[in-house]
């Protein structure tokens, strides 16, 4: 540090290698400006500067002394220089601040040049090497880890732009959050728990821990096993009680549950909802139909955290209650979870395969819930011969085909069957192989491969992590593209930085003044303020959309009654009988599902029209400062939106049962009383449906507003960041232009090395083919 002593001794006559003052290291964000303020003090301005309150505050903040004295200040400047010259970036920022003081006529140019000539006490940045093999083919886990390594390397070693560093942080977060899920469904006693235990390679569910599980269970990874039990909240239980008005089984469920708990009821069913964290081994006391003494009736769902291998791979599993559960709300919740799953596995007992409940659920999942992959498992196949198994599989396919034809959706037969894979599995024997009972399974003539469990695992791994999984390839492809773009932008910026370092001080000052005089920043700020105003206006407009949606529900309700009444009247006149219940159920099912889809489509389009005009106007008005893409409306996206928000998960079985019951008891000679009763029943159903759907519709609208805001704000923010980067770069170039040649050469070398590192990363990306 001898050069610092020499410089200070030449400036302060009284300075003679005095002991440095202990420095309280400030926040790196503010250090350059604080350091520059004290380094700007010299003998010529000392007596004036020492009385300035801001300088006294800085001196106290950094060194703890309230007064600036001629004895302490040189030692303080030594401490600052010793600290700052060991950090190239910090010193560069400090020089920028000193340059600003010179431009403001506070600091002589010679003073800045002297400080800029101080040698850094750090070694030049070593040559960068990625040292990572290029992935061959598609390997989700390998490429994910590689991208994380690249993102961290870019963030900590190669990028200087703050906005591009934020891009890296976003990539790291997205990759960290990338997870996949499997949904397990089936009627009760289909063998779900046995199969799932075999898949997890330990008995987490089933007779050993959770006998006769009656609740939705979400299995996730954690090193310390535990469970979180979530009870129905007051509003959800009210919905269950309303459903009981049209169902005897639901009415019995409600009555016995409330009678069982008495005063304890108020502690478990609360407006805000109650959750309890419990040891995994005690879960049966809350969820088992046998062990919980009815408490499972109040449980909405549970989260199980365990250290099993499948969960470690980033896979969560949703184990659902039986489809024939009397509580329809559980089925609706099941469907809302399943729509987020990458794969749905539906189990059917070989002796009771392809029941009407099975087929209806499968078709509903693939047409309205937008499930992209469905695995049908034929369980307990060890009880069947090969010929019997082939017959079961053929019957299953035929049942699905026939049901689609009866629903008038024959055009969907081929695309739906392409989404289905059918596997036989001997779940109990597979579980034996994985829980120390392999000899017993072998004695039955089944090795592990013959149980079917290995074939299912291979299929799931390919579907979840292979190149056919759109979400997996998108996660790799989109994040690769984001990092590659960040590299390209920073590479270009470094090239521009290097070019500036060969420009004269006069030219740099001219460019800086020209940038400050431009009105672009002001226009961008005005655009961002306008976007904030429009966002608030659109959010207020969502409240008025409630009436729009309510009128669509009223239309849908009236249309359903009209269709049913017309069909009943026609059938009575032509055939002197009421329509069959299967026909009525089909009419109710399609009217409710398709009606909800149409409602969402019209809702989204109405919002789009309201926002689209503003988007187009902004893109024209601010075309000179940034490019805003007008909003576009995808007429097909509403189906996916409806599925994701659970709008199509509404169960119409209670409505069908109630209406078919009314028809069965009605007189053929007097239909008016029947139609009046049907109208009341439909009105009650749609009142409940509207109550549940409105918050979900509002959520769709809120996401559209957020999309509008993000889509229009992003280019303005990017343009503003570019101006900030340009201004910062010009300041740095000016500071370096005022420094000695050695400091300038160090910076040029650093930029060239980082640029070379970016080129190596881009070459790596050229070899990655997601």
Q: Which residues pair with 348 in a beta bridge?
A: 378
CB atoms within 10 A of CB 336: 19
Hey, which of 365-374, 385-394, 469-478 has the most confident mean pLDDT?
A: 385-394
Report the DSSP pairing between strands 343-349 and 226-231: unpaired
pLDDT value of position 214: 59
Higher pLDDT, 718 or 439: 439
Closest of 633, 619, 636, 602 to residue 714, by C-alpha: 619
Higher pLDDT, 647 or 376: 376
Closest of 260, 255, 231 to residue 245, by C-alpha: 255
Sequence-distant (≥ 6) Cβ neighbours of residue 187 within 8 angstroms: 322, 323, 324, 348, 349, 352, 355, 357, 358
Q: What is the mean pLDDT of the chain?
A: 85
Report the DSSP pairing between strands 299-306 and 226-231: antiparallel
515: left (phi over 0), alpha (psi -120 to 50) or beta: alpha
Task: Give whole-number Cα distances, 523 to 340, 375, 379, 514, 718, in Å.
Answer: 42, 55, 66, 16, 14
Of the chain, the percentage scoring pLDDT greater than 90 comes to 28
Q: Which residues pair with 579 in a beta bridge?
A: none
Q: For residues 205 and 213, what is the distance between their CA atoms, to the nearest angstrom?
A: 8
At residue 211 the predicted structure's pLDDT band, cuts being 50, 70 and 90, is: very low
How confident is the model over 336-346, as a mean pLDDT? Answer: 83
At residue 209 the predicted structure's pLDDT band, cuts being 50, 70 and 90, is: very low
Q: How far, in whole angstroms, is CA 22 from its chain's centroid?
A: 47
pLDDT value of position 118: 84
Residue labelled with tokens 């009821």: 265
Of the chain, the percentage scoring pLDDT greater than 70 comes to 91
Lowest mean pLDDT of 173-177, 249-253, 533-537, 646-650, name the range.
646-650
pLDDT value of position 456: 94
Sequence-distant (≥ 6) Cβ neighbours of residue 246 within 8 angstroms: 654, 655, 657, 658, 681, 684, 685
pLDDT value of position 210: 41
Q: Which residues pair with 278 in a beta bridge?
A: 227
How confident is the model over 678-690, as a mean pLDDT? Answer: 91
At residue 122 the predicted structure's pLDDT band, cuts being 50, 70 and 90, is: low
- Main-chain phi, psi angles of 375, to 5 degrees: -105, 120
At residue 373 the predicted structure's pLDDT band, cuts being 50, 70 and 90, is: confident
Q: Is the pLDDT of residue 639 over 70?
A: no
How confident is the model over 595-605, as a mean pLDDT? Answer: 88
Q: Is the pLDDT of residue 127 over 60?
A: no
Strands (E), 681-748: none
Rg (CA), the chain: 35
**pLDDT, tens digit, 9 for 90 and up, residues 643-666:** 666 777 767 888 888 899 999 999
How confident is the model over 109-119, as a mean pLDDT? Answer: 85
Positive or negative, the Cα torsion across 719, 723, 728, 734? Answer: positive
At residue 291 the predicted structure's pLDDT band, cuts being 50, 70 and 90, is: low
**pLDDT, tens digit, 9 for 90 and up, residues 296-334:** 888 888 999 988 888 888 888 988 876 666 666 676 677
pLDDT value of position 277: 93
Q: For residues 501 and 103, what is the distance between their CA atoms, to the nearest angstrom?
A: 19
pLDDT value of position 207: 45
Q: Is the pLDDT of residue 123 over 70?
A: no
Q: Is the pLDDT of residue 552 over 90?
A: yes
Q: How many residues does the chain have?
A: 770
């Amino acid at each position: 540090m001898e050069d610092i002593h020499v410089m200070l001794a030449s400036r302060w006559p009284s300075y003679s290698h005095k002991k440095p003052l202990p420095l309280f290291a400030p926040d790196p964000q503010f250090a350059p400006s604080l350091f520059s303020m004290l380094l700007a003090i010299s003998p010529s301005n000392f007596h004036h500067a020492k009385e300035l309150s801001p300088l006294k505050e800085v001196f106290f903040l950094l060194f703890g002394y309230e007064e600036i004295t001629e004895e302490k200040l040189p030692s303080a400047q030594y401490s600052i220089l010793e600290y700052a010259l060991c950090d190239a970036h910090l010193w560069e920022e400090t020089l920028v601040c000193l340059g600003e003081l010179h431009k403001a006529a506070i600091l002589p140019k010679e003073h800045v040049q002297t400080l800029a000539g101080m040698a850094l006490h750090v070694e030049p940045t070593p040559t960068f090497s990625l040292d990572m093999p290029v992935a061959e083919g598609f390997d989700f886990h390998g490429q994910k880890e590689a991208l994380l390594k690249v993102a961290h390397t870019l963030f900590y070693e190669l990028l200087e732009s703050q906005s591009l560093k934020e891009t890296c942080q976003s990539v790291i977060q997205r990759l960290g959050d990338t997870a996949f899920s499997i949904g397990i469904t089936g009627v009760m006693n289909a063998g779900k728990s046995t199969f799932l235990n075999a898949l997890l390679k330990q008995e987490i569910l089933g007779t050993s821990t959770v006998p006769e599980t009656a609740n939705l269970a979400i299995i996730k990874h954690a090193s310390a096993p535990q469970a979180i039990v979530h009870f129905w909240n007051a509003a959800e239980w009210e919905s269950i009680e309303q459903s009981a008005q049209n169902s005897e089984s639901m009415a019995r469920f409600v009555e016995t549950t409330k009678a069982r708990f008495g005063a304890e009821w108020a502690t478990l069913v609360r407006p805000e909802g109650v959750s309890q964290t419990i040891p995994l081994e005690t879960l049966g006391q809350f969820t088992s139909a046998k062990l919980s003494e009815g408490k499972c009736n109040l449980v909405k769902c549970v989260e199980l955290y365990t250290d099993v291998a499948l969960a470690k791979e980033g896979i969560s599993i949703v184990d659902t209650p039986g489809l024939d559960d009397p509580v329809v709300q559980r089925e609706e919740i099941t469907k809302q979870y399943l729509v987020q799953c990458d794969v749905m596995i539906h189990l059917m007992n070989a002796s009771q395969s392809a029941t009407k409940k099975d087929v209806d659920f499968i078709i509903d999942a693939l047409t309205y819930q937008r499930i992209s992959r469905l695995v049908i498992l034929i369980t307990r196949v060890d009880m069947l011969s090969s010929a019997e198994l082939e017959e079961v599989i053929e019957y299953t396919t035929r049942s699905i085909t026939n049901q689609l034809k009866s629903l008038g959706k024959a055009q969907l037969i081929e695309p739906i069957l392409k989404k289905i894979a059918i596997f036989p599995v001997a779940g109990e024997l597979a579980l034996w192989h994985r829980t120390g009972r392999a000899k017993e399974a072998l004695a039955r003539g089944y090795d592990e491969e013959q149980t079917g469990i290995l074939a299912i695992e291979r299929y799931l791994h390919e579907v979840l992590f292979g190149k056919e999984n759109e979400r997996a390839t998108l996660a790799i492809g989109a994040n690769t593209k984001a990092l590659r773009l960040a590299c390209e932008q920073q590479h270009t910026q470094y090239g521009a930085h290097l070019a500036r370092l060969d420009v004269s001080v006069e030219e740099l000052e001219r460019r800086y003044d020209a940038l400050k005089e431009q009105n672009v920043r002001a226009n961008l700020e005005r655009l961002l303020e306008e976007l904030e105003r429009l966002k608030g206006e659109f959010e207020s407009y969502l409240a008025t959309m409630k009436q729009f949606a309510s009128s669509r529900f009223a239309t849908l309700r009236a249309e359903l009654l009209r269709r049913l009444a017309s069909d009943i009247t026609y059938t009575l006149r032509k055939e002197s009988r009421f329509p069959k219940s299967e026909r009525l159920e089909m009419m109710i099912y399609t009217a409710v599902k398709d009606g909800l889809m149409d409602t969402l489509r019209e809702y989204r389009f109405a919002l789009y029209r309201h926002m689209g005009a503003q988007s187009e106007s902004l893109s024209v008005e601010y075309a000179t400062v940034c490019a805003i893409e007008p909003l576009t409306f995808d007429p097909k996206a509403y189906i996916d939106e409806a599925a994701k928000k659970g709008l199509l998960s509404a169960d119409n079985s209670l409505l069908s049962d109630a209406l078919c019951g009314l028809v069965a008891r009605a007189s053929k000679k007097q239909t008016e009383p029947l139609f009046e009763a049907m109208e009341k029943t439909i009105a009650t159903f749609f009142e409940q449906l509207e109550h549940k759907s409105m918050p979900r519709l509002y959520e769709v609208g809120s996401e559209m507003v957020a999309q509008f805001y993000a889509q229009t704000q992003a280019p303005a923010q990017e343009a503003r960041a570019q101006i900030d980067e340009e201004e910062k770069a010009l300041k740095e170039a000016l500071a370096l232009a005022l420094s000695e040649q050695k400091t300038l050469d160090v910076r040029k070398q650093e930029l060239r090395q980082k640029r070379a590192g970016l080129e190596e990363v881009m070459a790596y990306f050229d070899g990655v083919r997601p």
